[in-house]
Structure 1
């Protein structure tokens, strides 16, 4: 049976005390336990029902300016004693890091707001089966769909606790519900695959399972008989399911660790215009039921909403304590961490505020252009800003979606691309990072 939060924190604090007794000047301990259930359906029949449970923990100790981390999935008293011994021994011999260290006590989160990150209801296997069945059945009912990779319904709950020698000791519990479906349309070598999915914190916020399936089927059928196009320089429209990748590249370029290393093309751009003055990009860890919401970060600091880009201007880096110390700044409380590595900066619920025009209006004046629904590869060089990725989607002619296209490469430079971004008004919160439909003019599209 799982320990109460109070008992768990007491046990973690006892490990911290043992580490200090063994010679550590400071220490913290991250504990994570999780349960997940997944039900899959394929070709009208249940395929798998899987349940997984696990526990992991990571002890970080500091001896002077040296730190070491040891992780384990064994929480027995003997294993924890060995964990302490190994961590302290390692910390005595690793190189010094003048920027490592825990938060000062006055930096720690005290009042913890409720971000509604845990659904108390665990769905039964019957409920998960119904979700998966309905999604796959609806996908296969779409005319033109010829095969199915299946549908999957999942649920998970995790409990994470952090205890540290600076006095921080908190627990957070979060849940997740998900549905996905993937199907194929067409025959033989002309088959095309597509998908749809949804992930939410509370089950009541899930979209209708059949709607997920229908979208997956319709997406696949729309992709049939793609054409190859000639290379050109044209406006490009990013569908919302790929538009968030533009924000992901921005997040990497303003990551405090990259700025401290000097490995970002934006390293000298603080307080300057990076996007047009119509663009505001927000990181909001306190968004209720957000997929990446958290009231405190991985170092125990209170989180807060912040505008990374405000009216086009870059206003802040994304920092944990270490990168903030390197830069001579204050942490933005964006530390993320696992049990086997030290904290590092990461965004939470990152999104671009919507624009004022509809997606149709965004496309209306495009004589020839590309509407992207899928991207391949990681082709963004954050040192230079050079950008090149494989793409697929639809060709635009005279303001209308004309036909599917594939085997394309799109290229540009992120600095120029950021300045050209025009957002539509269709922002929805489906992922941890979200953007509305985006238009970027002047992209190079390489085809046949």
Structure 2
């Protein structure tokens, strides 16, 4: 929701509006309604506006939100983001293939080789708990610990806790292994090496 509509352009306590710094310059976020390998790819959105790749966050700064044609100052600024769940449903603003841009030069192995103590999260064990006003979140995860690139033992369900802004500023590197999961649209990210997050036995 923070990247959709005029309200995103105006900003708020969390995002700050177009041009605001959201995270490290390593972060860029794109929504591509015409992604060639995308499950929801289409030439046009639910109201006939051409779909294509739209950069929402560029080098850590909010570049533009997803805008419907009726929110746009010019036809060229419409982003083709009106989706219909079926032919019987009215179109609504929503992303299609929203994803972090990967770094084609970095493999997951390169990320795992980072020195020091690292928690390698490999699975999500349930839904996220989030406070949109403050940006805090908690996500149940499992994985294993690494120490100087070596396996230091697995961990079961624990809570990955943090703040969205701190997470975006704490991304040290991105891999090239972009993968998508289904939600209200398709959402994708490569493997990330982050700092500033916490693993805890409790959600709060």
TM-score (norm 1): 0.39
Please say which structure displays the higher CA radius of gyration: 1
- 1:303 is displaced (CA, Å) by 1.5
* Secondary structure, aligned partner of 2:197: strand
Distance 2:54 2:133 in 1: 25
Distance 2:192 2:133 in 1: 24
Distance 1:424 1:262 in 2: 26
2:133 — aligned with what?
Answer: 383
1:30 — aligned with what?
Answer: none
Distance 2:143 2:68 in 1: 38
Contact 1:353–1:427 (8 Å) recurs in 2: no
Distance 2:46 2:78 in 1: 12
Superposition map of 1:191-230 within 5 A: none
Distance 1:288 1:424 in 2: 22
**2:165 aligned with 1:418, yes or no?**
no
Following TM superposition, the consecutive aligned residue runs of length 4 or more in structure 1 with deviations greater than 4 angstroms are 260-264
- 1:348 is displaced (CA, Å) by 1.9
- 1:341 is displaced (CA, Å) by 4.5
Aligned match for 1:315, one of 63, 69, 78? 63
Deviations 1:414-433 (A, max 9, x none): 01111112343322455532
Contact 2:11–2:17 (8 Å) recurs in 1: no
- 1:301 is displaced (CA, Å) by 0.9
Unaligned 5+ runs, structure 2? none
Distance 2:13 2:68 in 1: 17
Aligned match for 1:337, one of 77, 84, 90? 84
The count of aligned residue pairs is: 193
- 1:307 is displaced (CA, Å) by 1.1
Aligned match for 2:107, one of 332, 340, 358? 358
- 1:397 is displaced (CA, Å) by 1.9
Cα separation, partners in 2 of 1:379 and 1:258, compared to 1, 3 Å: farther
1:437 — aligned with what?
Answer: 191
In terms of fraction of residues, the more helix-rich structure is 1
Distance 2:160 2:153 in 1: 18
- 1:437 is displaced (CA, Å) by 0.6
1:403 — aligned with what?
Answer: 153
**2:52 aligned with 1:304, yes or no?**
yes
* Secondary structure, aligned partner of 1:265: coil
Cα separation, partners in 2 of 1:393 and 1:352, compared to 1, 3 Å: same
Contact 2:180–2:189 (8 Å) recurs in 1: no
2:14 — aligned with what?
Answer: 265
Distance 1:381 1:257 in 2: 21
Contact 1:281–1:308 (8 Å) recurs in 2: yes
Distance 2:82 2:166 in 1: 29
Deviations 1:267-305 (A, max 9, x none): x33112212112222222222232121111111111222
Cα separation, partners in 2 of 1:397 and 1:429, compared to 1, 3 Å: closer
Cα separation, partners in 2 of 1:430 and 1:443, compared to 1, 3 Å: closer
Larger relative contact order, structure 1 or 2 (CA cutoff 8 Å, min sep 6): 2
Contact 2:35–2:52 (8 Å) recurs in 1: no
Distance 1:378 1:321 in 2: 32
Distance 1:353 1:365 in 2: 21
* Secondary structure, aligned partner of 2:195: strand
Contact 2:160–2:198 (8 Å) recurs in 1: yes
**2:121 aligned with 1:372, yes or no?**
yes
Distance 1:307 1:419 in 2: 18
* Secondary structure, aligned partner of 1:380: strand
Distance 1:346 1:408 in 2: 31
- 1:412 is displaced (CA, Å) by 0.8
CA RMSD of aligned residues (A): 2.7
